[in-house]
Chains A and B, each alone.
Chain A
Amino acid sequence: MFNFEITALGNMFFGLTVLVFVSLFFVPNKHRSVTLYSLLFASLACIFYASDLITLFIGWEIMGWSSYFLIAKTADKQTLQKYIVFNIGGAFTLLGAIILIYGACGSFVYSELDFSAVPSGQVTAITILLLLTLFVKSGIMPFHYWVVDSYSQSNDLFSAVLSAIISKTGVFAFILIFFQIITVQYLQTPILEVVAWLGVLTSIIATFKAINEDEAKRLLAYSSIAQVGYIVTILSIMGSLSLEAALYHTVIHTFVKLLLFINVAAIIYVSKQHRFSTLGGLLYKYPLNFILLVVGIISLAGMPPLGGFSSKFLIYTALLEEHKGLLLAAVLFSSASAFLYCYKLVYGIYLGQPTNPKTEAYPRIPLRFYVPQILGAVILITLGTIPGVIVPMFNGILGSVGFEPVLYRGVFVLGSDFASFNGGVVIGAFGLIFVLILLFFVRLKNRSVKPKDRLDISYCGEVPRADVNLHYGYGMGRELSRIGLIKMILSRSSHALWQRVSTLFGDLSGITQKLYTLSAQNMGLVIFAFFTILLYMGVK
């Protein structure tokens, strides 16, 4: 118990944790609980630097319940119940897997685990149990039931931690156990195929759910599920380039979600509004926040020239290199659709007209909200410009888990022999185009007509009535549900499944409870009948 070891992989994840926690420390927080946050931090350190499975498990559980108590300050009973049942369940499957590994290898210490003599059936069982754990933590469908509610109902600041760090512990455990401990050669390929498809399906479904979502934090939660879905898909390819892509995407996603959650948290902080339908038109009030949001969503959508593109590029390259054409198509589809909800964030909050009459009275956003956002933006821009800068670090990790390092050709270039791009060139070209367009608009600005009031949209050829709330972002995504496939996706929900499970257990409980209220005499009858049966069986 409690054996630690400094590893490159641990360093990377712990580094991300430290950055996120330190930057979040600046953000104003109504429910600050030093004990619980430090417990959470310690548990994360415990997970990332553990050198045996028990230490990992201890960290995992402490993380689970300390975040439960953090969420409990704001979430309702049902969400809490969902959160804890899924997370404890996930932790117990992890414990089951650890016990299985112990039974097979006779040790808990990473370096002493050797799977060469383990029967393949047992490896399969271990793999499935571990995957369940990771699926729960990362919110892969159908185990995402707890994610969205917990993200949206927890304290604004803690949602960022949940999305940026805690969902990544699943990724960490995946890399640690499958790449480093069990190693590729003993894993079963069909299972990994299934995992890849589960990941990509999750990302597609979550993307559409996000598009249809009206609440900012729920949208980000779905987006988080989708992004982690990519990571799981690319990890299950189990190649060196795919591992690099996954690590890269992990880093990018951490900072994107840190930025976006705090960005939205800032808006919620000043406006007390959570829904797009009650927000809007805040562009001129909070321009800095808007610019940071744009940086975030460009990265989230994986468009050039920011950091998001670098990681997406690696993901596509890795998929292509492994000839996973169908998967690539699915990832591309989901990635392209992601643009729609990114757009919703911009439009719903900043563009259009304010739907809330009190908008003018909103206070200034406290400067402290910008610390994590600017940290995220700087890193995203840097990784867009010099995408190769962290490749040596990843190569260190790849080396430590026994993989070939990928090609490193200076800080500007990212990619493999198969395909690569120069971040400097890309950002230069985009910068140039951006400047040109900006100039164009600056010239146009003098000629544009300012609308006199919110009903003055005569350019649209339609004049709304006074009681109609005019908001471009409102209801966006509804029309999507007219498309057959998407309608099917949106109408299905795992809610019913889990509800049925819960009802089933409730009913069973009702039945067994009846037994425990037997009268003394009937109790006696039970005893004697039991005795008679056993006696008869024994004597016969």
Chain B
Amino acid sequence: MSLVYFIAIPILASFLTPFYKNYLRFVSVLVNILLAGFAAFFYSRLPLNEFISLDSPLSIIFILDYVSFFFVSLFIGVMLFFSLYSIKEKNNTAVFVVTNIFTSGALGLILSADIFNIYIFFEIASISAYILTGLNRDKVAYSGAIKYMIVGAVASIFLLLGIMLMYLNLGYLTLSSIGAGFHTMDKGIQYLVLLSLFIGFGIKTEILPLNFWVADIYQATPTKIAALFSAVLSKAYLFVFFHILYTLKVDAPALLFLTAIGLLSFAVAELSALRSKDVKRIFAYSTLGQLGVLFLALSSANVVVVSGALFLILVHSISKLMLFFSLDLVEKKMHSTRVEAFAGFRSAFLFTIFAIGFLSLLGIPPFAGFIAKLTILKGFASMGAYGIVGAILAISLVEATYFFRLLSANQRSKKTAEIKVPLLQKIMLSLLALAILYLGLFPQGLLDFCTDAAQTLIQGVIHV
């Protein structure tokens, strides 16, 4: 068994599209099931690494340790869910061609421990995202895609600059050798490399001064695809960034800077959502806010906080899938994602799903978001960082304001349309809601795994 199958098989499925043009959706489901099987196969063999093509550390290295396994299984789960959820959409071959490659791009980002290889997967994931943004083929979509491409190109320029500088000064590309040699470099170069990586990945992980494009992109993207951006894409970049950061063993002031940026990002994003009148943009802002929390939690270098952040990543992905997919159903019926449209639908099922999603994102028990938030706060308390605890709670209150405004808008407005949710969608969405409830009530198993994963992440890349 090879780790490359995680990447090669979805790409293969997309390459061979002409042979099963109209059945690609089934193939995608099969591919994702196959990948889930691989993940299950590797679970008992953790942690492991694999040299690609040349059996020596000089070649590209893939690493599957606890933390990358966490992300790999999360992404496969999300993509499997996505492909099952849209299995009835017959005329959507294009989406599946791109999402398959998108999957392999995201998985490659997680698995690869070679900085240039990471750049390649970074590009694969980004380009699939550009295409997915332009998928609606109207003015709005192309406008979004163009904006995305300009900003994305800037990000890849910075990443490329960082990689080039590292290769120029160190001569190696694997994360572990870069980590070993990083502190032997000239101080200025060290700083420049870190800065380029921060800007390159910061744009993609949607961190404060670099995230002003995000809401527009989410608005332009088809709603279901926006769920993938929120649940998979930004998480993949986030992981890679911190994987590299912890491998490079950056010093405390740099981490503190990231913490501050994360907190600021959280605050500004949640504040912006307060007066927004478009539900899709509100969800985008909420994603930005949660990414801010993740950023500040992941940069703490504390096992408890990081494990909470990993838990939050899972919960946030599930919640955002739920919310965006439900919003998609609303959008199909009401032909708009504005708050007025959101207020006008009648469906007890969808309302429940929205309520559970919101409560979970807010970190309100008994839903899983609470466990994540509690773990993060507990960790900060044990570090003595009470200011951060207070700030997170205060900003969460702002978040609560707009989420409950949406709920009460729907409850107390005149209903103009009744939404009948198809059975398949109903089952799939209920599954997500149950998962959130289950994780909220019985989090221990996952928390233990997250703790292992957090330890691996903070340690940085070490070859097995």
Distance in Å from the Cβ of A83 to the closest Cβ of chain B?
A: 9
Say whether B195 contacts A103, CB under 8 Å: no
* Known contacts A85-B404, A103-B384, A530-B199; is-contact A61 B272 (Cβ 8 Å): no
Distance in Å from the Cβ of A17 to the closest Cβ of chain B?
A: 19
Residue B364 interfacial (CB < 8 Å): yes
Report Cα–Cα, A62/B355, bound state, in Å.
Answer: 13
Chain A residues, Cβ within 8 Å of B405: 77, 81
Say whether A508 contacts B271, CB under 8 Å: yes
- In this complex, what residue of B is CB-closest to A92? B393
* Known contacts A58-B366, A103-B386, A524-B151; is-contact A509 B272 (Cβ 8 Å): yes
Report Cα–Cα, A216/B195, bound state, in Å.
Answer: 65
Residue A534 interfacial (CB < 8 Å): yes
Residue A362 interfacial (CB < 8 Å): no
Chain B residues, Cβ within 8 Å of A95: 374, 377, 393
Say whether A72 contacts B411, CB under 8 Å: yes
Say whether A539 contacts B188, CB under 8 Å: yes
Interface string of A88-107 (1 = CB under 8 A from B): 11011101100110110010
Chain B residues, Cβ within 8 Å of A64: 364
Say whether B390 contacts A96, CB under 8 Å: yes
Residue B401 interfacial (CB < 8 Å): yes
Say whether A516 contacts B366, CB under 8 Å: no
Distance in Å from the Cβ of B422 to the closest Cβ of chain A?
A: 24
Say whether A534 contacts B370, CB under 8 Å: no
Chain A residues, Cβ within 8 Å of B198: 534
Main secondary structure of the interface of A (DSSP, over half): helix
Say whether A516 contacts B396, CB under 8 Å: no
- In this complex, what residue of B is CB-closest to A534? B195
Residue B463 interfacial (CB < 8 Å): no
Say whether A93 contacts B393, CB under 8 Å: yes
Report Cα–Cα, A524/B355, bound state, in Å.
Answer: 37
Distance in Å from the Cβ of B282 to the closest Cβ of chain A?
A: 11
Report Cα–Cα, A125/B386, bound state, in Å.
Answer: 11
Distance in Å from the Cβ of B113 to the closest Cβ of chain A?
A: 27
Distance in Å from the Cβ of B300 to the closest Cβ of chain A?
A: 14
Chain A residues, Cβ within 8 Å of B412: 72, 75-77, 80
Residue A523 interfacial (CB < 8 Å): yes
Say whether A96 contacts B393, CB under 8 Å: yes
Residue A448 interfacial (CB < 8 Å): no
Report Cα–Cα, A103/B276, bound state, in Å.
Answer: 37
* Other-chain contact of B409, A57, A69, A77, A510 (Cβ < 8 Å): A77
Chain B residues, Cβ within 8 Å of A84: 400-401, 404, 408
* Other-chain contact of B191, A68, A505, A528, A539 (Cβ < 8 Å): A539
Residue B66 interfacial (CB < 8 Å): no
Binds A, one of B37-45, B78-86, B213-221: B213-221
How many residues belonging to B are interface residues under a CB distance threshold of 8 Å? Answer: 61
Residue A483 interfacial (CB < 8 Å): no
Report Cα–Cα, A421/B421, bound state, in Å.
Answer: 67
Residue A499 interfacial (CB < 8 Å): no
Residue B381 interfacial (CB < 8 Å): yes
* Other-chain contact of A506, B214, B275, B355 (Cβ < 8 Å): B275
- In this complex, what residue of A is CB-closest to B394? A92
Say whether A538 contacts B213, CB under 8 Å: no
Interface string of A499-529 (1 = CB under 8 A from B): 0000001101110110111111101101110
- In this complex, what residue of A is CB-closest to B194? A538
Residue B365 interfacial (CB < 8 Å): yes
The bracket for how many chain A residues form the interface is: 35 or more
Distance in Å from the Cβ of A486 to the closest Cβ of chain B?
A: 34
* Other-chain contact of A527, B146, B210, B276, B355 (Cβ < 8 Å): B210
Residue A535 interfacial (CB < 8 Å): yes
Residue A365 interfacial (CB < 8 Å): no
Chain A residues, Cβ within 8 Å of B154: 524, 527-528
Interface string of B14-42 (1 = CB under 8 A from A): 00000000000000000000000000000
Report Cα–Cα, A528/B157, bound state, in Å.
Answer: 11
Report Cα–Cα, A509/B405, bound state, in Å.
Answer: 15
Chain B residues, Cβ within 8 Å of A80: 404, 408, 411-412
Distance in Å from the Cβ of A457 to the closest Cβ of chain B?
A: 45
**Interface hits, B270-300 → A, CB 8 Å:** 271-276, 281, 285
Chain A residues, Cβ within 8 Å of B232: none
Report Cα–Cα, A512/B411, bound state, in Å.
Answer: 28
Distance in Å from the Cβ of B228 to the closest Cβ of chain A?
A: 21
- In this complex, what residue of B is CB-closest to A88? B400
Say whether A519 contacts B147, CB under 8 Å: yes
* Interface-central residue, A96, A100, A506, by most chain B CB under 10 Å: A96
Report Cα–Cα, A76/B199, bound state, in Å.
Answer: 46
Report Cα–Cα, A54/B363, bound state, in Å.
Answer: 13
- In this complex, what residue of A is CB-closest to B150? A520
Say whether B195 contacts A538, CB under 8 Å: yes
* Known contacts A65-B359, A72-B411, A524-B151; is-contact A505 B271 (Cβ 8 Å): yes
Say whether A523 contacts B212, CB under 8 Å: yes
Distance in Å from the Cβ of B186 to the closest Cβ of chain A?
A: 11
Say whether B271 contacts A509, CB under 8 Å: yes
* Other-chain contact of B377, A99, A523, A524 (Cβ < 8 Å): A99
Distance in Å from the Cβ of A130 to the closest Cβ of chain B?
A: 14
Chain B residues, Cβ within 8 Å of A505: 271, 274, 398, 401
Say whether A513 contacts B365, CB under 8 Å: no
A-side interface residues toward B, CB under 8 Å?
1, 54, 57-58, 61-62, 64-65, 68-69, 72-73, 75-77, 80-81, 84-85, 88-89, 91-93, 95-96, 99-100, 102-103, 106, 125, 505-506, 508-510, 512-513, 515-521, 523-524, 526-528, 530-531, 534-535, 538-539
| A-B complex: 8 closest residue pairs judged by Cβ atoms | A103-B381, A509-B274, A58-B365, A509-B275, A80-B408, A520-B150, A520-B147, A538-B191
> Please, could you name 21 A-B residue pairs with CB atoms under 8 Å apart, sorted by A?
A58-B366, A61-B364, A62-B365, A64-B364, A84-B400, A84-B401, A88-B400, A92-B394, A93-B393, A95-B377, A99-B377, A100-B386, A102-B382, A505-B398, A512-B271, A515-B272, A518-B212, A519-B147, A523-B150, A534-B198, A539-B188
- Give 9 A-B pairs besides A58-B370, A523-B150 with Cβ atoms closer than 8 angstroms: A65-B364, A73-B411, A92-B396, A96-B393, A103-B381, A506-B275, A531-B158, A535-B192, A538-B192
